[in-house]
Structure 1
Amino acid sequence: MSPKELRWGILATGKISTNFSKDILTDPSTRGVSDVSHRIAAVGSRNVESAQAFVDKLHKLDAPFDWGAKQGKLDGCKVYGSYDGVYNDPNVDAIYIGTPHVAHFDNAKSALSAGKHVLCEKPFVMKLEELDELIALAKKHNVFLMEAVWTRFQPIAYAVQEVLFSGKLGKVKRVEADFSIDFKPDGLPDSHRMIDPTLGGGSLLDLGPYPSVWAMLTLFQHPDNHRTPPNILFTHQTPYARSGVDLNSRWLLEFPGLGGVQALLTTDMGVTGGGERGAVIVCEEGDIAIEWGLSNPSRFWITPHTGKRMGLITSKTEHHHPVQGNSGMAYEADEVARCVRDGKTESERMRWEESRIVQGWFDRVRGDAAGKK
């Protein structure tokens, strides 16, 4: 049986869309995939010239990203000076939405209403009510919808879960996850996406999905949790004085399904996360430490407790699980292709239920901060 080829329409031509397009144009066999493949059938931008420049750039990529062009995966790609052309293109199966946060809802709504499958960048939307409307549309039109939390589909995510769920480390006791990057906000213009509130600026919406995904993978999806949603115990945001967006955010979760295990999640756009560890899962017999850069880490360590608190884990071991391709976004695209092939409207790995939970966290953190002003 020949591989299922998914024909993509790309919305917007910025960095994130470039990374996604480069990744899906790599040879699937380099990541051990033979059942699905990808083609870029259309690109939409603010003008035709921008869309054409984007496609021209994809034609000139160096190895390993030149594989797609050489295999004809860009042949016949249409360019549009608006997004409407992509929504209505009969040769487009699925649409990747790489527009600014605040445009996600309208873009996804239009794509779903046109009968297209949708992979929408994170954060999915700006509030939970918008997400519920999109889910209802996906059900109505019987099309696939997924938030593009690419980290979930990378090799390291499965490897960490395998160790944790095996029980070799005993029960989970606590999780801390931080994704902070010093954007040097004082040097950014008021119009920058991290500064401008009308673009959904601030650390929470841009960085928050990454510590969130590790809490969901290690605690919510833990077999002993039985998919019990957590409670929010505490939230905090520090406003960035110049524009009022959040300079940093933090929120503390409690998972009653795991006996009250807590997870502290943090973001900051004014400092870079300290040390080599971005997340630590503390367990009875030892810990899992995931390297900094929680969006696409490639290493984690199993580490022993110290001194008299030593558990069954007595030596530190390093586990390396790099992504193949540019940044690892092709893994989520493969998931979309398989789900579309199999007639699914949602992914079992990235369920709507889980997007709703995380969106609820963001709404609560932002709402609590607004209430304190």
Structure 2
Amino acid sequence: MAPYTVRWGIIATGGISKQFAKDLLVDPSSRDVSDVKHEIVAVGSRSVESAQSFIDHLKSAKPEDSWSWGVQNGLLDGVKAYGDYHGVYNDPSVDAVYIGTPHNLHHRNAKDALLAGKPVLCEKPFTMDVEELDELISIAKEKNLFLMEAVWTRFHPIAYAVQKVLDSGRLGRPKRFAADFSGDAKLDATGDRMIDPELAGGALLDMGPYPSVWAMLTLHHDKHNKDKDPKVITSHQTIYKRTGVDANSRWVVQWDGLCQAALLTDLENSGLKEATAVVQCEEGDLCIEYPPWRPETFHLVPRPTHHVGSIKEKETHQVPCHPGNNGMSYEADEVARCLRDGKIQSDRMPWDESRIVQGWFDVVRKNGDSVLKDYKGQAGQ
């Protein structure tokens, strides 16, 4: 049987869209996939020239570039450049739309795509608040259209490997969790989107999805967890005074009957190399190495000697993405399979879990003092 093919339209031409496009063009067999494949048929930007430049960059792949396979095998043949986004939404050859615009535009762009009848894969954070997300979900249900937040880390091989260890029972019940996405961005020397309030900058929304995804994968999915609506019980933000966005945000989430998770994002300090996320369990600790968005290594670590468990020696597990795949190919494959099977949401990245994390961000933002504290979303507009 021929593989199921998704013809993608890509919205915005920044770095994240460029990487997604390149991953679409990688040979699926390089990641042991034969049931689905991808083509790019439309690119939308603020000008035709910008969209065409994006396309030209993809077509200029050198033989050693992993995405050159797609160029050589016609996966860009006939791709159209649009000087706006609606051209992509209304293009009958587009099967699904990928949205890689700034955070504060996600709701508008996803809503427009859904209203035009297109399935949507939208970059994280999904929206600016839960109300915006609920409106998108309502439209997707009404129109029977697929919608998913692009939390690529959920689909990486290491995510499944970590969950397999936890599900095996070797480590026992989780007792405590901490995850951290930090990086010294040299804020005083930069003027980029990370600190621009007009683009919803700051540590929380840009970096928050990564400690959150590991909390969700390890605690929320844990077989002992019965709490389907974990809440933020305390939070704090430090404000970067030059622009008023949050320089760091930290919050604690409670899963009743299981444990708590301490989550941290920080633009002014480096993160921990060997412990970007740590699940401390009854029999030992599971430590995931930096970077949280695309780790390749995790360790099983014995507990301290006076609380020793069944893990007696440190174990190191290497689980990289497949060669040539940056990591976005896996979420694209998930979209293709869901479309093939007639699903409107992913079992691996369901709407209710996006709502949980979006709800945490709402609480932290509203309890802080950044310029986004009182931001009102565009639901209903």
What does residue range 87-126 of structure 1 map to in structure 2 within 5 Å? 87-126=89-128
Look up the match of 1:369: 368
Q: Which structure 2 segments of 5+ residues have no match? A: 375-381
1:128 aligns with 2:127: no
Q: What secondary structure is seen at the aligned counterpart in 1 of 2:120?
A: strand
Structure 1 Cα separation of the partners of residues 121 and 110 of structure 2:
8
Look up the match of 2:352: 353
Amino acid in structure 1 at the alignment position of 2:116 = A
TM-score, scaled relative to structure 2: 0.95
- In 2, are the aligned partners of 1:210 and 1:294 still within 8 Å (CA)? yes
C-alpha deviation, 1:141, in angstroms: 1.1
C-alpha deviation, 1:368, in angstroms: 0.5
Q: What secondary structure is seen at the aligned counterpart in 2 of 1:281?
A: strand
Structure 1 Cα separation of the partners of residues 85 and 228 of structure 2:
39
Q: What secondary structure is seen at the aligned counterpart in 2 of 1:194?
A: helix
Look up the match of 2:53: 53
1:278 aligns with 2:271: no
C-alpha deviation, 1:196, in angstroms: 1.1
Structure 2 Cα separation of the partners of residues 205 and 326 of structure 1:
26
Structure 2 Cα separation of the partners of residues 24 and 271 of structure 1:
34
Structure 1 Cα separation of the partners of residues 57 and 227 of structure 2:
43
Look up the match of 1:237: 237
Structure 2 Cα separation of the partners of residues 211 and 250 of structure 1:
10
- In 2, are the aligned partners of 1:19 and 1:326 still within 8 Å (CA)? no
Q: What is the RMSD of the two structures over their aligned residues, measured on CA atoms?
A: 1.3
C-alpha deviation, 1:276, in angstroms: 2.5
Q: Which structure 1 segments of 5+ residues have no match? A: none
1:216 aligns with 2:223: no
Amino acid in structure 1 at the alignment position of 2:308 = M
Q: What secondary structure is seen at the aligned counterpart in 2 of 1:263?
A: strand
Between the aligned residues of both structures, percent identity stands at 59
Please say which of residues 297-306 and 351-360 is displaced more in the overlay: 297-306
C-alpha deviation, 1:101, in angstroms: 0.5
Amino acid in structure 2 at the alignment position of 1:193 = R
Please say which of residues 353-362 and 272-281 is displaced more in the overlay: 272-281
C-alpha deviation, 1:98, in angstroms: 0.4
TM-score, scaled relative to structure 1: 0.97
Structure 1 Cα separation of the partners of residues 120 and 67 of structure 2:
23
- In 2, are the aligned partners of 1:108 and 1:118 still within 8 Å (CA)? yes
C-alpha deviation, 1:64, in angstroms: 1.5
C-alpha deviation, 1:114, in angstroms: 0.5
Look up the match of 1:193: 193
Look up the match of 2:289: 291
Q: What secondary structure is seen at the aligned counterpart in 2 of 1:225?
A: coil
- In 2, are the aligned partners of 1:221 and 1:227 still within 8 Å (CA)? no
C-alpha deviation, 1:306, in angstroms: 2.3
Q: Deviations over 1:76-103 (max 9, x none)?
A: 0000010010000000000000001111
Look up the match of 1:168: 170
Q: Deviations over 1:245-291 (max 9, x none)?
A: 000000001101xx240100000011111333201100011110000
